[in-house]
Amino acid sequence: MAWSRAIVAGALLFVLLGSPPKVLLGWPAELSELLGYALLVAATLWRIWCLVFIGGTKDGELATSGPYSVVRNPLYAGNFLGATGFGFAVEQPYLALALALLFFALYPRVVAKEEARLTEKFGEHYRSYCTRVPRWVPDWSLYKEPEIVFASPRHIRRGILDAMWFLWAFALWEFIETMHDTGLLPTFF
């Protein structure tokens, strides 16, 4: 989504101009960075896992197995992990909170539009799926997967590259932080 990338660009601008505190809420900033990195890796792997189960059939058939068997919007759940993870990884817990709040402000509208489109396309099959599977919080007791998953290699490859932008944003932050630390990039606040 173009607007989600714009949000990340704004977050990068925020960290580009600022300097992270050395202690966050009474604990070392490195713990925030470690938590954030773990969330970024989890988000990336989660999104790749989702893409394996829709790999090229996103609009062709309703995905109801794998991550789609436990939550209706697993890709968006991955985006939430990645956005908040980014805030923690750059040692800015208030940015993590702001990104989480922004997620909850924007994504319900996105999901409502998608659910309307899927209801129109799949009818009763989708309505039945909605009654069984939660929208946001995974219910692992519902997990099911087929013996074999068929996926388009091209879509999987593109999906992996798309999922990696969380990690790329963090790598860019590390570069910016190094520029701040060496004095090559000024800090404004």
Parallel/antiparallel/unpaired status of strands 27-28 and 23-24: antiparallel
SS3 164: coil
**Domain range for 111:** 29-182
Q: For residue 57, is it within any domain? A: yes
Q: What is the pLDDT of residues 64-99, one digit of tens each?
A: 999 999 999 999 999 999 999 998 888 888 888 888
Residue 16 lies inside a defined structural domain of this protein: no
**At 23, which helix (H) or strand (E)?**
strand 23-24
In a domain, 172, yes or no: yes
For the chain, the C-alpha Rg in angstroms (whole number) is 18
pLDDT (0 to 100) of residue 158: 83
Q: Do 94 and 189 meet the contact criterion of CB atoms below 8 Å apart?
A: no
Q: CA separation (Å) from 135 to 39, 68, 77?
A: 20, 10, 10
Convert the pLDDT of each residue in 30-76 to its tens digit: 888 899 999 999 999 999 999 888 876 655 789 999 999 999 999 99
Q: Would residue 18 count as lying in a domain?
A: no
Which H or E element spans position 66?
A: none
Question: Is residue 43 domain-resident?
Answer: yes
21 within domain boundaries: no
Q: How many domains does the chain have?
A: 1
- Mean pLDDT, rounded, for 18-33: 66
What does the pLDDT look like over 104-123, one tens digit per residue? 999 999 999 999 999 999 99
Question: Within a domain: residue 137?
Answer: yes
DSSP string, 113-162: HHHHHHHHHHTHHHHHHHHHS-SSS--GGG----S-----HHHHHHHHHH
Three-state DSSP state, 28? strand
Query: What CATH number does residue 37 fall under?
Result: 1.20.120
Q: Is residue 4 part of a domain?
A: no
